[in-house]
Structure 1
Amino acid sequence: MSEELTEDDSGTVTYDTDYEVGQDNVEVMGFDVHNPVFFVSGVVVVAFVAFSLLFPELSVSVFETLRNRVTSDFDWVFVFTGNVFVLFALYLIVSPFGSIRLGGPDATPDFSRTAWFAMLFAAGMGIGLIFFGVFEPVAHAQNPPLNVLPENIEAAQSVAMAATIYHWGLHPWAIYAIVGLSLAFFSYNRQLPLTVRSVFYPLFGDAVWGWPGHIIDTLAVFATLFGLATSLGFGAEQALAGMNYLFGIPNTDLTKVLLIAVITSVATLSVVAGLDAGVKRLSEINIVLAAALLVFVIAAGATAEIFIGFLTNTISYLTYLPALSSPFERNPEFLHGWTTFYWAWWISWSPFVGMFIARVSRGRTVREFILCVLIVPTLISILWMTTFGGTALHQIAVDGYTGVAATVENWRPELSLFRMLEPLPFSGILSFLGIALVLMFFVTSSDSGSLVIDTITAGGKLDPPVAQRVFWAVLEGLVASVLLLGGGLGALQAAAVTTGFPFAFVLLTMCVCVYLGLRQELKFLRASTV
């Protein structure tokens, strides 16, 4: 047993620290805030909103410059970080650490496996799958991602599906899994506050309660807020594109802002309702709607080809994974325009998704946690991309339908889903279901993100005042709105990339910390059984 650990009469193991959750909090106008994380984060984000509204042309220039510099000069940082997380997650599955239970040997899960999986998947990448599921495979088929050109159209489609799955498979979910595991372990097994800084206790000791910890948590707030705003912006773009496609509702800046305002209001009500009544219920509805859309497209489309494609695309993904994971064998446009953006987006989203997964994962073993957060969502992502992207590729190659291809040529990813559904039976109903699904994912992302940011800025408190949750939910909507108004999809990508870059180094250090923590836990458990 490590000298840093102590055990009380109940068998609870903790670090030898006198820190208590909320001891640095101050009450301001009914808010219970952690000083200075809340104030620094809030002031900087409000200043960003004001700057973007007052100087729109300058803000667009800044967004573009930041995105281009980070994606071209530091692409290797993102590629390296993603690979490290995948290898580390796979190691944890087969290591002796896999038997450690989050919350202690006697802990039991708070949610059923079905409810647990629904919440983690809805929070993880729901909007992204809807937004890019049709568009991306076609884009890669038309613009080969690797430096070696495919021999024929079948090979081009195979590489395109592998490249798409690469962006939505093991790598993003490994990032989420390690961040979620780290937060859950140090909160439930060491009774530390549920904030990002707690993970770094093995390295910094009590210094994490000072300025090193303030900086870590503040970076986590920035990354979460702007990563979330990126997803909300994508959701607004796609929902309005669908409404314009079905009902002729104009897709203007005003309607974008109004939609974000309405959905943010709904998300705020869900946040106020709490985790069980709000987020859990909406997440389960999301899974039902997504499953209904998926099953119908499989049944109405090339059913046999989709099932065969699931197997062949999985093989293609594993075959091309070494080349796709290397920064040297890929088309620079693909590396910078797709992979670097995605990895930055996943990294910036990781505090949000990781903390949300941690909050609902008490009682799971490390092995069960990694398997369910890493392997199962990857298989679902493969099925989703095979169904929607594969159907679009089939329409182009076999049916001669070019509706989706036109959205790629004109770079209108928000329209690709609705164009793919157009030739299918009941296309209007399916498109309406797609819009509803985007809006529901919009709500669950916003409300769960608000809960996470609120927890961080309250010093790890799980039940801060309702007004505080409303503040962050509204601020998320404002950031998404100004990014859309100040530069559209390019500004959203720039926000994710620039906040994800510094946080990549935080996550790499996190791997070291959770390894040290799990090693301590295993030593303690073995010593206690002797």
Structure 2
Amino acid sequence: MAISGLTSEGGPSKAQQLADSLRHRPGAVFYISIGLILAFVAWAGLSPETLGGAMTSAMNWASETVGWAYLLVGFGCIVLLIYLAASRFGRIRLGSDDDRPEHSTWAWIAMIVSAVMGIGLISYGVAEPITHFFAPPHGLAEPGTVEAAVRAMQFSYFDWGPHAWAIFGVFGLAIAYSTHRKGNTGLISPMLRPVLGKLVDGWVGKFIDVFAIIATLFGTTTSLGLGAAQISEGLNRIMGIPTDLFVQIVIIAVITVLFTLSALSGVNRGIKYISQFTMLLSIGIGIYVFFTGPSNFITNLFVRSIGQYSSDFLQVSLITPLTDEGSQWMQWWTYFMMAWWLSWGAFVGVFLAKISRGRTIREFVLGVMVVPSIVFFLWFTIFGGTAIRLDMAGVSNIGAAAANDINSAFFEMLAQLPLVEITSVIAVILVVLFFVSGADANTFVLGMLSTRGTLNPTRTVLSIWGVLTGVCAALLLVVGGLAALQQAAMLSALPFTVIVALLGYSLIKQLREDPHFDHTKGVHREDLATAALRVPSRALRP
């Protein structure tokens, strides 16, 4: 899914043309990013024990002292997007006032839905609800009860619903406005000019872009590590192949080659078809599990859980731990999820910006926050609810399997339903397609962010980022497995808690000065003399 074309119909702006002309000469951002990541690779290779210990200590400190920042960012992004959609700013188009959407509304929504389908839906679609069912978050229910089932879905919705997509939405809206309407490159730093001024042209701006690159890289490595674990588990179920570390590293190597070649090929049409095929497979397996599983239980659980989620929305959005045990739980679940979304913000933001030119801000917010959230809610209720019901009835032991290894939960649930040989193969195919259809786009974004925002990174740059992504994922598995992958994502995303806040403030400041509202401003003599105000012809009509 190579992303290109973040330009208006009038062609690239001067900033975009300049970035493209210098794409063969990577600047300081590229070399600083590569240097920091190579230092990390060297540390992991020479002394994995000390790296693992340092990451654990750093994450424990962050969780206990500033973990609440992850919660505030997600909640703040929801508030910001609702405000923008409901206010006069909702009428502004992401492009010129004359631009109209490139895609029909249904096609646009379908592309957003296909973007949300990811490895996490396989890795956590069963594992998170069944884990919460037997160990209810924050002691809010008795384990194994109906109330625990509702709480399990409630917190799964919290981790994967509007909070996640509001973070993506702020990035996407900022990138779309900056590129389509202001003519900037796709870098994060220029979007902060209204707040930081000329600092974005110096080292402050460069380090902001470096933070974006590192967070994006480790967000990808987390998904790659999860994907390798899921594929190895599936192959074990289907063919009896071991699930040891060596097999997972081999899988990472193969997947890395596939998505790097995909990014280098630039064959947009092929990846587009792969994404659509993946979405159809996902819908198919979801319908199959719903009808072969406990359909009535799933339906009732969905309705009741939506009610619980809605009634406790504010409380859960700002729930923080008061004990060491609670802090560890938040670190493993909620803090990690919020940080994971932050680390994917730049990648998903570029994708959303790409497909949303010509949409109004109001349309963008409704399409990005509402539709993906519904998809996640349905997915987790169908798969997680099926596992919960089977364990409640005593016909399976999926919860124990998930406690031993979360990667086994999805396949253990499928094993309780008919045609397990076929559905397990489909699940493995989904994981592979999920990653290949998304990681090549992520490789493109890394190339873009590290070469001045050019929309045409060189093949050399793309290859470097593809290889580094695979190497970092493999090393993190060696250092500490899933825990190390999660810690890397959380720590790399920590600076983004500040950057996203600045991004939201900057966006509002720019929108208040948008030419769309020139005809509503007071006119001063100097404005008429310098033509500083643009008065649309429609504003002069009686």
Q: TM over 0.5: same fold?
A: yes
Q: Residues 235 and 42 of structure 1: is their aligned pair in 2 closer, same or farther, counting only changes over 3 Å?
A: same
Q: Residues 56 and 64 of structure 1: is their aligned pair in 2 closer, same or farther, counting only changes over 3 Å?
A: same
Aligned twin of 1:282: 274
Rounded Cα–Cα distance in structure 2 between residues aligned with 1:184 and 1:58: 42
Rounded Cα–Cα distance in structure 1 between residues aligned with 2:474 and 2:347: 20
* Correspondent of 2:164 among 157, 160, 172: 172
* Correspondent of 2:204 among 209, 212, 230: 212
Decide whether the 8 Å contact of 2:171 with 2:346 is kept in 1: yes
Aligned twin of 1:420: 413
Spell out, residue by residue over 1:209-263, the C-alpha distance to the aligned partner (whole angstroms, 9 max, x if none): 2222111111100010011111111111111111112211112222212111111
* Correspondent of 1:42 among 26, 34, 48: 34
Give runs of aligned pairs for residues 28-177 of structure 1, distance below 5 A.
32-124=24-116, 126-150=118-142, 153-177=145-169
Matched, 1:490 2:471: no
Rounded Cα–Cα distance in structure 2 between residues aligned with 1:322 and 1:438: 34
SS in structure 1 opposite 2:100?
A: coil
Matched, 1:334 2:329: yes
Q: Residues 147 and 250 of structure 1: is their aligned pair in 2 closer, same or farther, counting only changes over 3 Å?
A: closer
* Correspondent of 1:403 among 376, 379, 397: 397
Q: Residues 273 and 525 of structure 1: is their aligned pair in 2 closer, same or farther, counting only changes over 3 Å?
A: farther
Aligned twin of 1:4: none
Aligned twin of 1:295: 287
Rounded Cα–Cα distance in structure 2 between residues aligned with 1:33 and 1:150: 60
Spell out, residue by residue over 1:107-128, the C-alpha distance to the aligned partner (whole angstroms, 9 max, x if none): 2333454554454444446111
Rounded Cα–Cα distance in structure 2 between residues aligned with 1:152 and 1:260: 36
* Correspondent of 1:440 among 410, 429, 433: 433
Decide whether the 8 Å contact of 1:271 with 1:279 is kept in 2: no
Quote the offset at 1:70 in angstroms.
1.5
SS in structure 2 opposite 1:146?
A: helix
Quote the offset at 1:169 in angstroms.
0.6
Decide whether the 8 Å contact of 1:327 with 1:335 is kept in 2: no
Decide whether the 8 Å contact of 1:162 with 1:313 is kept in 2: yes
Decide whether the 8 Å contact of 1:313 with 1:382 is kept in 2: no
Rounded Cα–Cα distance in structure 1 between residues aligned with 2:361 and 2:95: 11
Quote the offset at 1:397 in angstroms.
1.2
Aligned twin of 1:3: none
Quote the offset at 1:323 in angstroms.
2.4
Decide whether the 8 Å contact of 2:133 with 2:144 is kept in 1: no
Q: Residues 44 and 123 of structure 1: is their aligned pair in 2 closer, same or farther, counting only changes over 3 Å?
A: farther
Rounded Cα–Cα distance in structure 2 between residues aligned with 1:122 and 1:474: 26
Quote the offset at 1:333 in angstroms.
4.3
Decide whether the 8 Å contact of 1:70 with 1:497 is kept in 2: no
Decide whether the 8 Å contact of 1:289 with 1:437 is kept in 2: yes
Decide whether the 8 Å contact of 1:404 with 1:419 is kept in 2: yes
Aligned twin of 1:514: 507
Aligned twin of 2:311: 319
Decide whether the 8 Å contact of 2:144 with 2:392 is kept in 1: no
Rounded Cα–Cα distance in structure 2 between residues aligned with 1:383 and 1:92: 27
Matched, 1:238 2:247: no
Spell out, residue by residue over 1:338-393, the C-alpha distance to the aligned partner (whole angstroms, 9 max, x if none): 11111111111111211222122212211111111100000111100110000001
Spell out, residue by residue over 1:121-177, the C-alpha distance to the aligned partner (whole angstroms, 9 max, x if none): 444461111110101111111112134445981111111110111101110000000
Rounded Cα–Cα distance in structure 2 between residues aligned with 1:82 and 1:72: 18
Quote the offset at 1:200 in angstroms.
0.8
Matched, 1:389 2:384: yes
Quote the offset at 1:271 in angstroms.
1.0
Rounded Cα–Cα distance in structure 1 between residues aligned with 2:107 and 2:476: 33
Decide whether the 8 Å contact of 1:25 with 1:33 is kept in 2: no
Matched, 1:370 2:362: no
Spell out, residue by residue over 1:408-464, the C-alpha distance to the aligned partner (whole angstroms, 9 max, x if none): 332x11110000011111011101101110111111231111011111112111112
Q: Residues 219 and 26 of structure 1: is their aligned pair in 2 closer, same or farther, counting only changes over 3 Å?
A: farther
Amino acid at match of 2:480: G
Rounded Cα–Cα distance in structure 2 between residues aligned with 1:332 and 1:311: 30
Rounded Cα–Cα distance in structure 1 between residues aligned with 2:288 and 2:83: 38
Q: Residues 38 and 125 of structure 1: is their aligned pair in 2 closer, same or farther, counting only changes over 3 Å?
A: farther
Quote the offset at 1:190 in angstroms.
0.4
Quote the offset at 1:62 in angstroms.
1.9
Decide whether the 8 Å contact of 1:71 with 1:497 is kept in 2: no
Decide whether the 8 Å contact of 2:89 with 2:361 is kept in 1: yes
Q: Residues 376 and 275 of structure 1: is their aligned pair in 2 closer, same or farther, counting only changes over 3 Å?
A: farther
Rounded Cα–Cα distance in structure 2 between residues aligned with 1:94 and 1:24: 36
Rounded Cα–Cα distance in structure 1 between residues aligned with 2:444 and 2:348: 11
Decide whether the 8 Å contact of 2:20 with 2:456 is kept in 1: no
Q: Residues 179 and 11 of structure 1: is their aligned pair in 2 closer, same or farther, counting only changes over 3 Å?
A: closer
Rounded Cα–Cα distance in structure 2 between residues aligned with 1:303 and 1:144: 23
Decide whether the 8 Å contact of 1:279 with 1:448 is kept in 2: no
Quote the offset at 1:35 in angstroms.
1.2
Rounded Cα–Cα distance in structure 2 between residues aligned with 1:477 and 1:278: 23
Q: Residues 123 and 458 of structure 1: is their aligned pair in 2 closer, same or farther, counting only changes over 3 Å?
A: farther
* Correspondent of 1:181 among 150, 170, 173: 173
Rounded Cα–Cα distance in structure 2 between residues aligned with 1:113 and 1:267: 29
Aligned twin of 1:7: none
Amino acid at match of 1:343: M
Q: Residues 11 and 523 of structure 1: is their aligned pair in 2 closer, same or farther, counting only changes over 3 Å?
A: farther
Over aligned residues, Cα RMSD in angstroms? 2.4
Decide whether the 8 Å contact of 1:49 with 1:479 is kept in 2: yes
Rounded Cα–Cα distance in structure 2 between residues aligned with 1:301 and 1:33: 56
Matched, 1:452 2:459: no
Amino acid at match of 1:475: L
Range with greater deviation from structure 2 (267-276 or 500-509): 267-276
Amino acid at match of 2:212: A
Spell out, residue by residue over 1:277-308, the C-alpha distance to the aligned partner (whole angstroms, 9 max, x if none): 34423221221111111111112111233233
Range with greater deviation from structure 2 (313-322 or 183-192): 313-322
Rounded Cα–Cα distance in structure 2 between residues aligned with 1:407 and 1:395: 13
Rounded Cα–Cα distance in structure 1 between residues aligned with 2:347 and 2:43: 25
Amino acid at match of 2:400: A
SS in structure 1 opposite 2:513?
A: helix
Rounded Cα–Cα distance in structure 2 between residues aligned with 1:249 and 1:308: 39
Aligned twin of 2:532: none
Q: Percent identity?
A: 34
* Correspondent of 2:258 among 250, 266, 283: 266
Amino acid at match of 1:66: A
Aligned twin of 1:361: 356
Decide whether the 8 Å contact of 1:122 with 1:445 is kept in 2: no
Query: What TM-score results when the alignment is normalised by the length of structure 2?
Result: 0.89
Matched, 1:464 2:444: no
Q: Residues 298 and 24 of structure 1: is their aligned pair in 2 closer, same or farther, counting only changes over 3 Å?
A: closer
